[in-house]
Amino acid sequence: MKIVSKKNRLLVGTAVLALVSGGLYGCKDFLETNSTPQGTLDAGTLSNKAGVEGTLIGAYRTLDCTNNSPEAWGCAASNWVFGSVAADDSYKGSTNTDQPPINDIEGYHWGAPDGQRYLYGKWSIVYEGISRANATIRLLKKVVAASPNEISATDAKSIEGEAIFLRAHYHFEAWKMWGNVPYYREDETDFRKANETSAEVAADLIKDLDAAAALLPATPRQKGRAGLWTAKAYKGRVQVYAGQFAAGVTTLADVKANGPYALQPSFDQVWTGFKAFYDGPETIFAYQASANDGEPNGNNANFGERLNFPYSGSHYGCCGFNQPSQNLVNFYKVDAAGLPLALSAPTTWNATSANFKAHDMTPVDPRLDWTVGRDSVPYKDWGLYSLKDGWVRDVGNGGPYGPKKNAHEFASGAEQLSGGWAPTQQNSVRIHLFRYADLLLLLAEAQVETGDLVGALTNVNLIRTRAAATAQGCAYRTTTDPIVITTSKVNAACAGDARIAVPINDASITWAKYDVKPYAVFPSAAYAREAVRSERRLELAMEGQRFFDLRRWGLAYASAAINNYINGEGGGAEKTRVTYKTTAEAFAARHLLYALPVIQIELSKVNGQDRLKQNPGW
């Protein structure tokens, strides 16, 4: 078995995974007293059912950063750097000097050395996942051929289907980032492979997802694993991303009508540390983090999200990254009809630059306070989000707001109790990679593009009806709790009210006025298109989706969205709110695709010629 250094590679030659301890303990004369290497993994060790299953688990593990991942946190499962910070959802946050590579991603300087470091981290994690998925298939075939009774035919089909699905997922991640990427299957022997075109990658993704669907059972072997409907839903996602709208309608409508998915009844049950809601009906595919599982450093918890918590004045203690933008906060404002103000007041919706804190009764969509930490508004069940208590690291650099979806609740017990760096920021919150609300909005988008405005309206209103179900509640905790919340940090009206989620018009809500209503009609395709796109932002904000949506909606749309976000739209400009935005490059055609990591191009050389080609403009 060949192992290639992770720090200088195109791909690992074969993936190695059986979840074992790797430390070397004592024994200074180990080499002298052992003629046969001990504690190693080779093809013989792995050539059994346990080895195959362990290798497959390893392929799932690279959905998020590992403690070996280069240039964290570009490897995060949520794509918060590349999908949220690079768009108009969030700023890098923290301080200007912490994690400077993200400054280059946010400023569109993707060819700069620091920006390249984070791009290399993302490339490494997705192609590591591809390598592990392919290694699973190769090992499975070897074991089945050598020992036909070792793995049942049913399990063998599912294992192969899961591995093919994971291979498609990782290639999809690469395709979202770079468009023109190499596609690897299990029989590849030369990893110095040329890029495929974006269209060719899309065709290969659909081919793999069809193959996975043909092998996978309708009910996955275990919760969290891929099944038949996971692959079908993902196929529909690829079709819409590729602009194959008619095919996407067919696929996604089938999943909606016949699949096992449904919306959670309340938005707080989607992003949560409460285990009762893990693997719920809204989950199509998620990274299943694990805390307090015996790993001494908590490295199976949400490594990729570890920076994205309120700062030292809060319980979490660090680190203040991925701070929601003023533009995003303003986007949650609604008009008198309970619809997005950005649609009905396009020249003024973004005019306010002031900290939008508690007791400003401008009507807002309640999803704002499930998504964003705001000054003096309850933050799940950790008391009031508080600028004066230091919950923000550097307001001048990152604004006054904080991320919220990835944070766990005190009462959930999802926090890592000890071990590793900053266990208060490690948790087992599921990181949604694809959820049912996303699927419904993709279906609505495809319906708009194929002329079914009534169908699109129905699907968008399903999302908005759920949004109207609940809002952030008091979530009062007494001072007898281990994490003391003093009476100065809670609203007096909240005393004794421990509810985290309440009706949006509940009498306990004194900090905001919430309103969200369904659309009565989509009067035109143009209006419907903007309504669907707005709903995607409202529903999926801070989930690493936004940049990839803007990109697939075309250069004119993406460049207007990003350049106007920085220079001025709806009455406000981000470059006056966080002044470092003045150094951002103007968004242009080359920014529709990220720059390939230069080191990968160098490693692809054959006889002095690059097999991998850089994306246009870089």
Residues 77-95 pLDDT 10s: 999 999 999 999 999 999 9
What is the Cα–Cα distance from 65 to 126, expressed in whole angstroms?
10
Residue 8 has pLDDT above 50, yes or no: no
Residue 333 has pLDDT above 80, yes or no: yes
- Produce one character per residue of 474-513: b if its CB has 16 or more CB atoms within 10 Å, e if not: bbbbeeeeeeebeeebbbeebeebebbbbbbeeebbebbe
Confidence (pLDDT) at 581: 97
Residue 73 has pLDDT above 90, yes or no: no
Residue 12 has pLDDT above 90, yes or no: no
Region 257-275 average pLDDT: 98
What is the Cα–Cα distance from 41 to 261, expressed in whole angstroms?
40
The residue to which tokens 């707005």 are assigned: 534
Burial class (CB in 10 A: 0-12, 13-18, 19+), 545: buried
Region 554-562 average pLDDT: 98
Q: Which of 19-33, 403-417, 574-588 has the lowest mean pLDDT?
A: 19-33
Structure tokens at 585: 């490059």
Class of the CATH-defined domain 285-553: mainly alpha
What is the Cα–Cα distance from 70 to 62, expressed in whole angstroms?
12
The residue to which tokens 């005019």 are assigned: 351
Burial class (CB in 10 A: 0-12, 13-18, 19+), 374: buried
SS3 206: helix
Residues sharing a CB contact under 8 Å with residue 186, sequence separation 6 or more, in sequence order: 134, 135, 137, 138, 141
Residue 22 has pLDDT above 60, yes or no: no
Residues 565-581 pLDDT 10s: 999 999 999 999 999 99
Instruction: Kindly state the greatest CA–CA separation across the chain.
Output: 81
Structure tokens at 432: 């949604």
The number of beta carbons lying within 10 Å of the beta carbon of residue 70 is: 18
Residue 218 has pLDDT above 50, yes or no: yes
Domains 1-20+37-216+588-618 and 285-553 share a fold: yes
Task: Return the percentage of the chain with pLDDT > 70, whole number.
Answer: 91
Bond into 73 cis (ω within 30): yes
The number of beta carbons lying within 10 Å of the beta carbon of residue 38 is: 8
Residues sharing a CB contact under 8 Å with residue 2, sequence separation 6 or more, in sequence order: 13, 14
What is the Cα–Cα distance from 408 to 594, expressed in whole angstroms?
32
CA 244 from chain centre, in angstroms, equals 23
The number of beta carbons lying within 10 Å of the beta carbon of residue 552 is: 16
Region 358-381 average pLDDT: 97
Q: How confident is the model at residue 35 (pLDDT cuts 50, 70, 90)?
A: very low
Q: Which of 176-190, 480-494, 586-600 has the lowest mean pLDDT?
A: 480-494
Residues 419-462 pLDDT 10s: 888 899 999 999 999 999 999 999 999 999 999 999 999 999 99
> Helix crossing, 436-449 with 453-467: angle to 10°?
150
Task: Give the residue extent of every domain in the chain.
Answer: 1-20+37-216+588-618, 285-553
Region 15-37 average pLDDT: 35
Residue 508 has pLDDT above 50, yes or no: yes
Burial class (CB in 10 A: 0-12, 13-18, 19+), 364: buried
Structure tokens at 185: 């299957």
Region 189-209 average pLDDT: 96
How many helical (H) and strand (E) elements, i.e. helices and strands, does the chain have?
A: 19, 8
How confident is the prediction for the chain on average, in pLDDT? 91
Residue 482 has pLDDT above 80, yes or no: no
Class of the CATH-defined domain 1-20+37-216+588-618: mainly alpha
What is the Cα–Cα distance from 341 to 327, expressed in whole angstroms?
12
